[in-house]
Structure 1
Amino acid sequence: MAPAAPAERAAMRRAIALAARGLGSTSPNPVVGCVILDVSGQIVGEGWHRRAGGPHAEVEALRDAGERSRGGTALVTLEPCDHTGRTGPCTQALIDAGIARVRYAVADPNPAATGGSSTLAAAGIEVEGGLLAEEAEAGNLAWLTSVRLGRPFVLWKYAATLDGRTAAADGTSRWISSPESRADVHRLRAQADAVVVGSGTARTDDPQLGSRPRDAELLDSGITQPLRVVVDSNATAVKPGARVLDGHAPTLVAVAEDADAAHLEGLAPVVRLPRAPRRGLNIPALLDALHGRDVRSVLLEGGPTLAGAFVAAGAVDQVVGYLAPALLGAGPAALADAGISTIAQALRLDITDATRLGPDLRITAVPTANATPPEES
């Protein structure tokens, strides 16, 4: 097939930007954007998947375009679905609208929905995938990771001084990061299905963990509050009156199978999990339990101990660190024991973004392609 025309590339970039508007409101579905070009290459329709159970991006864009879509081209960030769920297949909507060409960015890895390109081709529509695939993958990273791995995508977020301290020697930590960084954390919460902390954070900070985004688009998109998850192995940190029990958002307390959690009855749902070999709870079991509750993305906000357990389990897919221009010299480090005993075992990361937020520096990184987790002992 011929290379994508400049108009098609521009339209796909627009579709990727539209897809991002669904972050925080479409789970367990992906975020998807679609732009329709008429036969002359002009944009005549736009749409994105706004919320789970609602019309898909292609349907929204076709509705916007009307009869102008006939003979035109659809640019879609994800291969059009070919199954009937809460909505009908997008392939049939494209066929019925008389679309002549479909260019999508990323193939759908979901076995229940894949095959759309073949259905479209069988109907005589010219189909090609891969246009701006890398950009579209980045915008849908959480959902794609969850489908491919069969567990939620995990983003570990932390704030620290330049010497890696998350609190002072006396335990004080408010506020290491700037107001700009703290506002950005609320953006991350708004985009996540669940926010996870450990018993140490719950006991020391009594966090509320709700999302209060300042971004107007996020506020307008109808985001839902993330599930607040406290990993409280011995059921001793979450007590009546805790802020995570305030009803602002749903809460789940994860405890060990042998823990006495009678005091939580009627206060919050409890999930019982096996203990890990070394400490805490079994992280894969926790992620499996969350996945079963339709959680596709997790924002890990726990302290260094819980973060170390996730790293040791090979369950950190992205790291966002907010580095404040300050030095403490003592106090807890951002990451505790992660089962790494020698430099050769270091979890190497690729930095994908570095941005100034007020006085702070936000670093975003992902494990390198050949990174392997340390062995649990």
Structure 2
Amino acid sequence: MRRAVELAASALGRTSPNPVVGCVILGADGTVVGEGFHRGAGRPHAEVEALAAAGERARGGTALVTLEPCAHQGRTGPCADALLRAGIARVVYAVPDPDPVAAGGARRLRDAGVEVTGGVLRAEAERGNELWLTAVRRGRPCVTWKFGGTLDGRAAAPDGTSRWITGPESRQDAHALRAAHDAVLVGSGTLRTDDPHLGLRHGVTGSPPLRVVLDRDGTVAPHARVLDDAAPTLLVTGPHTPEPVLPHRHEVLRVPVTEGALDLAVLFDRLWARGVRSVLLEGGARLAASCVAQGLLDRVVAYVAPVVLGAAAHPVLGDFGASTLLAGLRLKLGEVTRLGDDVRLLLRIRELPGDAPPGPACGAGRTAEGDVA
């Protein structure tokens, strides 16, 4: 199963709106006879790839898969049926499928006389498929806020300079994090201040994510770097903003303006409808605060540098309405990693593993108690 988790991770960032899934087939004698992973929507599922590699050696054997085999006829057939046709005698899976459309494969297999065991290495498999699982359980894209900051929570010096607070190891890791997400989101303030490119650099390969730029008033300059041809860009504007002139690869998405700001909940609903299951929020402080206040944040990846800038510097997070300690957003510490002189923290709004329905939104006036992610 641990090998299946590794296989699943090899396609991270390339399978949406589908999950990452890995599968290992053991022959009747217990030896590995086939491996596979899902490579993208419309491509064979992990079980089908592994069965194709195993051939007749799969008959009477065991399939180990990171996610419960699907029972759904979509662009590909149900994996439960493929396992039955191959003569698999035992199926071991890590995580039950939370998607009501695709779930039910374990029951179908049991009804056909296959021995089925669930929950094996569930925690590891949950983390490997965390972005998709969180999205399906929430019914919107999983939102990760990424920032690089100082020990005292500052994103830039008083004069606005921020390159480079963190070291090269952190910057490379941040681009790998970007590559694992379907979309990267910034506000117009970050766009005007930093003119970010939002592509993949520092030796990170793969398909760059969809670049999503909030531009309520249509102020993005036509020569902004996010409008080059390195990746598609979605320019999000208000309903009455003049139509911008964009290169053919890019699009405009209009969403309502609520209390003077673009409605983020509507934006995430529209992104979900486009097949986006994960969004990396990269800037800036006000946009991150809005996500916190509206309960739209799921994870935080913080790159903390051994630097102190003081109160006059720019904070990593704006005001989201927390006037007391109890009103603050209390996160669950997941992982701590040293990257050169920096420390990378992965924090979650809720703990893994689990499959409980969402609780109350976390934000201003609430603590981070609630369901698992």
Match runs of 1:74-153 below 5 Å? 74-153=63-142
- Could you tell me how far 1:263 is from its partner in structure 2? 4.7
How is 1:1-377 mapped onto 2 (pairs within 5 angstroms)? 12-212=1-201, 214=203, 219=205, 223-236=206-219, 238-264=220-246, 268-277=250-259, 279-329=260-310, 330-368=312-350, 372-374=362-364
CA offset at residue 271 of structure 1?
1.2
Would you tell me which structure has more helix in proportion to its own residues? 1
- Taking the aligned partners of 1:141 and 1:271, their CA distance within structure 2 comes to 27
Tell me by how many angstroms 1:264 deviates: 4.9
What is the RMSD of the two structures over their aligned residues, measured on CA atoms? 1.7
Q: CA deviation at 1:259?
A: 2.5
8 A Cα contact 1:62 1:97, kept in partner: yes
Secondary structure of 2:66's counterpart equals strand
Q: Secondary structure at the match of 1:166?
A: strand
Query: Structure 1's 99 and 196: CA in aligned 2 closer, same or farther, altered over 3 A?
Result: same
The CA distance in 2 between the partners of 1:372 and 1:83, in whole Å, is 33
TM-score between the two structures when normalised by the length of structure 1: 0.91
Contact kept in structure 2, 1:58 and 1:94, CA below 8 Å: yes
Percent of residue pairs identical: 58
Offset, 1:258: 2.9
How many angstroms does 1:229 deviate by?
0.5
Q: CA deviation at 1:69?
A: 1.2
- How far apart are the structure 2 equivalents of 1:267 and 1:19? 30
Query: Could you give the per-residue CA deviations for residues 284-308 of structure 1, whole angstroms, max 9, x where no partner exists?
Result: 1110111111110000001101100
Q: Displacement, 1:37? A: 1.3
How far apart in 1 are the matches of 2:235 and 2:295?
Answer: 22
Deviations 1:315-354 (A, max 9, x none): 1111000011111113111100112221111111111111
Deviation at 1:83, TM superposition (A): 1.6
Q: Distance in 2 between matches of 1:79 and 1:267?
A: 37
> Number of aligned pairs?
357
> What's the secondary structure of 1:322's corresponding residue?
strand
> Shift of the alpha carbon at 1:213?
6.1
Residue in structure 2 matched with residue 7 of structure 1 by the alignment:
none
Partner amino acid for 1:25? R
8 Å contact from structure 1 (residues 348, 368) kept in 2? no
Q: Distance in 2 between matches of 1:260 and 1:123?
A: 59
Q: CA deviation at 1:109?
A: 1.3
SS at match of 1:284: helix
Q: 1:122 to 1:368 in 2, by over 3 A?
A: closer
Q: Choose 124-133 or 264-273, whichever is displaced more.
A: 264-273
Partner of 1:5: none
Query: What is the deviation of 1:267?
Result: 7.7
**Residue type of the alignment partner of 1:203:** R
Question: What is the rounded CA distance, in whole Å, between the counterparts of 1:334 and 1:196 in structure 2?
Answer: 16
SS, match of residue 354 in structure 1: strand
CA distance in 2, matches of 1:162, 1:261: 42
Question: What is the CA–CA distance in structure 2 between the aligned matches of 1:294 and 1:80, rounded to whole Å?
Answer: 21
Cα distance in structure 2, aligned partners of 1:92 and 1:212 = 42
Q: How far apart in 2 are the matches of 1:340 and 1:256?
A: 28
Separation of aligned partners in 2, 1:271 and 1:257: 9
